[in-house]
Amino acid sequence: MGRDGRRRDARDLHDNTHKTWANLEKRKAYTVSVGTAAQVKACDYLGCVSGNKVADKVARSGFHMTKAPHVDAPTIDELPLVFECELVSMDPDTCLVIGKVVNVACDESALTDGQPDAEKIGPISYDPVAHVYRPLASPLAPAFKVGLEL
């Protein structure tokens, strides 16, 4: 449900009046920082508050921004995994954005043997049915092996 108490569906997401949309049009680049269990409150805050209405929304979240090294967009210092993307296309009718990943960066504290470690990152995902955030780090089954048991 939205803040107004009504159920939301995909049509509610098609809103190109967000500050992010204007930034995409202007900069032709964006970053995707992976939300984490450790930062779930601050990540949720960014999704609850409009940058058009709260000018210092990032500062209020407690996050700090740094310019990405490969694209003209910011990264969130406190989130350990970020995808830097160049804009390929954007459709104002559907708000579909397509980008090309040009760099992936991971904080050293979230690496094991030089590779991103999901358990150290602690990634989360939004569950739109239950309206909760869910952790993604726990292994479920060995890939390309468990299916061979059939």
3-state secondary structure of 92: coil
| Domains of the chain and any CATH numbers | 10-137 (2.30.110.10)
Q: What is the pLDDT of residue 12?
A: 52
- Asked if the model's pLDDT at residue 96 lies above 70, the reply is yes
* Lookup: tokens for 80: 């350990």
What torsion, rounded to 10 degrees, do the Cα atoms 90, 69, 58, 46 define?
Answer: 40
- 74-83 average pLDDT score: 98
Q: What is the pLDDT of residue 6?
A: 52
* pLDDT averaged over every residue in the chain: 89
pTM of the model: 0.83
- Give CA–CA dist 103/93, Å, rounded: 28
For 1-14, how does the pLDDT look when each residue is reduced to its tens digit (9 = 90+)? 444 555 554 445 56
Q: What is the percent of the chain where pLDDT is above 70?
A: 90
Which residue in 19, 31, 14 sits closest to 55, CA to CA? Answer: 19
